[in-house]
Structure 1
């Protein structure tokens, strides 16, 4: 049953190439390509990562290519911000998060290297079909496998001496089974940004590549922060608060992320 489900998901995925974009200090230590839904190559200096106590997060940048893909520059900034916010919340379980100007054992910098825009018309039709079917069926039908978006990111953790201690290049396309349609050009990229942050946070916190799905129960601070509570560390407030129930309802109804995510500075 599981292999069949994976096959179905892969058959309904959009494709986002895993490429080197030149934003990392080095690509030399990256491992081979891994993953099924998400594709990635990564490197982790386990000894240094496990010994680190503090981290800082520099705001995620957008590559020039991303700006050519989006009609609204603010949409790209929204994707970058939710990536940073999720990463900050996730890392707060293990590390003390400080602002970049205060210095830390590790500084994290991510660059969104590509966004495949979601086709809003296709997303709208899919949402209408899904909501309509839920009225007469016990479960909604899968999303139409057209107009799906995607995301590609590169990120690294640099120590106080400027040495790369962890790095990853990552890409993932949305699929019609696990990714709900949102009527926005960043409808899929916005959700996938959190998926990237979860994976990179595991790499940094555990000092090694994540193995399979993360089925652990979220910590109280993580759950509270994602539901819109005050983050554990003040440095995380730079990325705004989690969207909470408003975000969940917005996702359910297919609303653009900008309707529910009122991030700081955006």
Structure 2
């Protein structure tokens, strides 16, 4: 297509058809003390009557834990819903208003809300998959793998990490101690024990849900290193896991999903069908 802007508009028009969006649903049982606003989520469900008890995909966006908003990812929810996947796009409180633990707690609450309510949107809570890009990958992994957040790993059918950041913050912050830049000091503190608690790599176990990993071959070196370390840690429990490497930088790892014909959709749906 010669005009990329026209192509994007056409994609958005096409994928909007046949999809019902339920917007700004508050999911917290109680507002966290240091949250300025109550976060909410959007649900995208297929309209066609043939779609009932569909698999569910819960998505958490990235943004370095200090930026981003769920409204930017309507294309993601619509594209998956058009393909018969009920999709939940989660918003959460960002740094400096929230630290990593508040964010993770909110994501865990969004997961619990989905498990309890998604049948109202044609979804099957027993077929719940989690996915996140960048910081979002960190948050879904930590919320699921650290029992402190109250998610039963067996209730999650699978986790799809898309160029996930923060999988080993302990290792990263030992090399680059947090400062006020990017609000990292308020996000992670200056305590190495906190960094360890914030790192999903320390919670891998035989109970970890089946994982699918995308990693950009041109991504940030810190993400490349952390994903390699995470893969090494989880290999004893999931020996067949191999990351899918794509010839992309970090942001295009997410923006590729604007195109509803992108091969990632069928790869992810295949993973969901197999688990």
TM-score bracket relative to the smaller structure: 0.3 to 0.5
Q: TM-score, normalised by structure 1?
A: 0.34
Name the structure, 1 or 2, with higher relative contact order (CA <8 Å, separation 6+). 1
Q: TM-score, normalised by structure 2?
A: 0.33
Which structure has greater helix proportion?
Answer: 2
